[in-house]
């Protein structure tokens, strides 16, 4: 989704789909998807009482996995109709959000309709994480098994060439 904003004689262009879109602005159990009217409704429904927040110049939206696991949130998004390639998450599949405070869906809905950028800025710093092991990205189940196959294949090929 590309948007162009014109102010006076200066024009700026925002290109969506860059790598920054796939980096959630929180280090807590959460999932993000591209920002579209259809997808926003799906994420609002799946995020339960937690609000949806936009980021990356309104190119993407995310919600914390509060009172549910990252896997439950992704399953709900897939069941709702979000394409598997359009879901990215932070945290392990059984992780739940540790945020002490977060926007509710009612608060975020009114903020999104009036000023998406303001909502993103005000909520991005409210989440905290107790994880010390570094970034963990959760991939859909199809990618996880493919990843495992690739690792095992690489080990097997290495063993054959090393003569073990």
pLDDT (tens digit per residue) in 56-86: 999 999 999 999 999 999 999 999 999 999 9
Give φ, ψ of 132 to 5 degrees.
-120, 5
* Statement: residue 3 has pLDDT above 70: no
Domain boundaries along the sequence of the chain? 19-162
For 98, residues 6+ apart whose C-beta sits below 8 A from its C-beta are 28, 29, 127, 128, 129, 130
Q: Is 128 within 8 Å of 98 (Cβ atoms)? A: yes
From the list 99, 78, 113, 111, the residue with the least C-alpha distance to 24 is 99
Reported pTM:
0.56
pLDDT score for 103 = 53
pLDDT score for 153 = 57
pLDDT interval class at 17 (50, 70, 90): confident
Strand partners, 137: 90
pLDDT score for 2 = 56
> 106-150, pLDDT tens digit by residue?
444 444 444 443 334 334 334 444 443 444 555 444 444 445 555
pLDDT score for 37 = 86
Q: From CA 160, how far away is CA 36, in angstroms rounded?
A: 49
pLDDT score for 51 = 87
């Amino acid at each position: 989704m590309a948007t162009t904003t014109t102010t006076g004689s200066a024009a700026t262009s925002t290109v969506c789909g860059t790598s920054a879109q796939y980096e959630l602005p929180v280090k807590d159990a959460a999932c993000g998807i591209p920002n579209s009217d259809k997808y926003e409704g799906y994420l609002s429904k799946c995020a339960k009482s937690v609000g949806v927040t936009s980021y990356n110049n309104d190119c993407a939206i995310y919600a914390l996995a509060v009172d549910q696991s990252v896997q439950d949130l992704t399953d709900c998004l897939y069941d709702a109709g979000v394409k598997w390639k359009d879901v990215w998450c932070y945290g392990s599949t059984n992780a739940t959000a540790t945020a002490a405070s977060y926007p509710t869906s009612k608060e975020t809905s009114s903020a999104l309709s009036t000023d998406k950028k303001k909502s993103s800025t005000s909520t991005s710093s409210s989440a905290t994480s107790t994880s010390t092991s570094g970034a963990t990205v959760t991939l859909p189940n199809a990618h996880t098994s493919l990843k495992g196959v690739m690792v095992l294949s690489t080990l097997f090929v290495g063993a054959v060439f090393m003569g073990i």
